[in-house]
Amino acid sequence: MSKSQVLSQRVAPLAERRKRIESEPLPRNIGALLDEAADEIPDHPAAVFIDSGRTLTYRALREDANRLANGLLSIGVGKGMHIGVMLPNISEWPLTWLAIARIGAVIVPVNTRYTARELHHVLDDAEAEYLVIHESFLPVLAAIPQGLPRIAGRVIVVGGESAGHRKWRDLLDGRSARLPSLPEPGLDDLINIQYTSGTTGFPKGCLLTQRYWLLVAKVQSACDDRAYPHVLAPTPFFYMTPQWLLLMAFLQRGTVYVAARQSASRFMEWLRAYHINFCLFPGAAYKQPPKPQDGENEIIRVSIYGFPKRSQADLERRFDFVAREAFGMTEIGAGLFVPIEAEDMVGSGSCGIATPFRECRIADTQGNTLKPGEVGELLFRGPGMFKGYYRKPEATEAAFHGEWFRTGDLASMDERGYVYIVGRVKDMIRRAGENIAANEVESVLASLPGIAEAAAVPVPDDMRGEEVKAYVVLQQGYTRQNLPPDHILAHCTANLASFKIPRYIEYRDTPLPRTASEKIAKPSLIQEKPDLRVGAWDRVEARWR
């Protein structure tokens, strides 16, 4: 009997699980959840940082978070203030987040691959009043031409070199682990301004509450009626996933194992070494050469996102674990999941049914619900979703049909409520889990002297889901010899995070096709040839395809 079959026999009926999860009270806030766990199991490991070897028990995590909260209060940080955080996957990241949660301040997580241009936009757009930054990223901060007057004198540096700024360690060492009497943050108080790529170019800040994070963690830890004492978090903390994995561990009274960075070659080694029971399984790990010990693991379930349906059964067979598709977004948190007992959905191509606390439907462009099997836009509603985009009321209004959030994904739903994603309404490229706004890539390309027109489109890729391809039309007097791919890519590298840089560049001798409304007709570009790589410069392989 397979592991999937065994587990399927040990879960309560789905309707019963959903009712229980939705009726159970949440902790008062994130700090209260940490307190509950620290009171029950103070000496149990809460977080283990794989690369440094550092372990934080629940007692140590609570005490250090409280000390840091006192340090932040001492320099003027208060409830509602916005604090940018640009740190790698080190213990200082979750400690800073938890300290901010204690105070009722708001964290602005910053992608550590951002260029000075992107860093400036996020901190300026979020109206950040303080910045916690690792010493290795100080050159990026210094490269912002006009600087950031709002955070002048309010930069806090993690690491040995502070370049004249305040040191993070000084806010922790010698501080009391007892908090002063403070107004306790509520479930609907803001805790994150979490930036996500938008179709109009620069990322938009999603307003996320303490309730948002607790609901995501609760759904992930309880939806399968199983215990996950060891969870793995190998992706950067500035993404939403490691943040809810941390809280998932708190709810389970378990341990989160944090890697410095994702590694396909080391992934199975981590699963075995740390007895991992739950993780998000990357497609790149499946692409590694099979090994006899692949099935030697203690995984109960892995979540997969957009995994090729033709390979899902082989994934389960090879690694002897239960793999289930899911769907989530920064705006909604957890949205869809395939239940652990739904063996018949393996390889179906569906990303599941609505999770607890969520309803979903498929609608036409006016927001009217469509019949089963009809294709339209996937919509969600429910408690604890994002509260809108920061300082962007028009974008927030456009993102909803009434109380239903518009995902921008085209999908259909069958009679049982299982959803099948078939395309996108929004002009986005999804590369290795990253949402990339085509407009942002195009704007950077168009700012390079010599480029008259540019279009960015997705190219299917077995490893990363999609890669970015750029079509460029050169201005008169420019050729691919005096504006070669290396020149274009150097410009992109200076202005875009590494994951946004096009892999493929194709030169066009004629203007790009246009629609009647004068927009670039991207479907026409995509449908021109069966293999979009042909005729393009491949940045990774450094050759013409």
Does the pLDDT at position 295 exceed 70? yes
pLDDT digits (tens, 9 = 90+) for 81-93: 999 999 999 999 9
Does the pLDDT at position 141 exceed 90? yes
Each residue of 235-268: b (16+ CB within 10 Å) or e?
A: bbbbbbbbbbbbbbbbbbebbbbbbeebeeebbb
Rounded to an integer, the average pLDDT of 179-189 is 94
473 within 8 A of 450, measured Cβ to Cβ: no
Rounded to an integer, the average pLDDT of 445-470 is 92
Does the pLDDT at position 162 exceed 90? no
Q: Give residue 363's pLDDT.
A: 96
What pTM, to 2 d.p., does this model score? Answer: 0.85
Q: Give residue 206's pLDDT.
A: 97
User: Could you tell me the CATH number of the domain that includes residue 185?
Assistant: 3.40.50.980
What's the rounded Cα separation, in Å, for the pair 447 and 463?
30
For residue 44, is it within any domain?
no
Strands (DSSP E) contained in 142-292 are 155-158, 166-167, 190-198, 201-209, 230-233, 255-258, 278-280
Mean pLDDT over each residue of the chain, to the nearest integer = 93
Q: Of 154, 175, 209, which residue constitutes the final position of a domain?
A: 209
For residue 366, is it within any domain?
no
Q: Give residue 161's pLDDT.
A: 82
For residue 314, is it within any domain?
no
User: Which is more confident, 118 or 6?
Assistant: 118
How large is the C-alpha radius of gyration of the chain? 24
Does the pLDDT at position 174 exceed 60? yes
Q: What percent of the chain has pLDDT above 90?
A: 81
Residues 118/156/239/124 CA torsion (nearest 10 deg): -30
Query: What is the number of H-type helices and E-type strands within the chain?
Result: 17, 28
Taking CB atoms within 8 Å and a gap of at least 24, the contacts of 400-403 are 401/363, 401/367, 402/367
Does the pLDDT at position 111 exceed 60? yes
What's the rounded Cα separation, in Å, for the pair 137 and 141?
7
Q: Of 209, 236, 260, which residue constitutes the final position of a domain?
A: 209
What's the rounded Cα separation, in Å, for the pair 36 and 19?
24
For residue 73, is it within any domain?
yes
* Confidence band of 134 (pLDDT split at 50, 70, 90): very high
User: Could you tell me the CATH number of the domain that includes residue 469?
Assistant: 3.30.300.30
For residue 380, is it within any domain?
no
pLDDT digits (tens, 9 = 90+) for 483-525: 999 999 999 999 999 999 999 999 999 999 886 556 788 888 9
Strands (DSSP E) contained in 425-450 are 428-431, 434-437
What's the rounded Cα separation, in Å, for the pair 450 and 351?
43
459 within 8 A of 532, measured Cβ to Cβ: yes
For residue 103, is it within any domain?
yes
What's the rounded Cα separation, in Å, for the pair 416 and 419?
9
- Candidate from 1-15, 170-184, 369-383, 484-498 with smallest mean pLDDT: 1-15
Which residues fall within 8 angstroms of residue 312, CB to CB, at 6 or more apart?
A: 304, 323, 325, 346, 347
Q: Of 209, 229, 245, which residue constitutes the final position of a domain?
A: 209
CA angle, 243 as apex, 241 and 245 as ends, to 5°? 70
Q: How many domains does the chain have?
A: 2
Does the pLDDT at position 168 exceed 80? yes
Which residues constitute the domain of residue 154?
A: 55-209
End-to-end CA gap in the chain: 47
- 3-class SS at 40? helix
For residue 193, is it within any domain?
yes
CA angle, 55 as apex, 49 and 59 as ends, to 5°? 135
Q: Give residue 126's pLDDT.
A: 98
For residue 93, is it within any domain?
yes
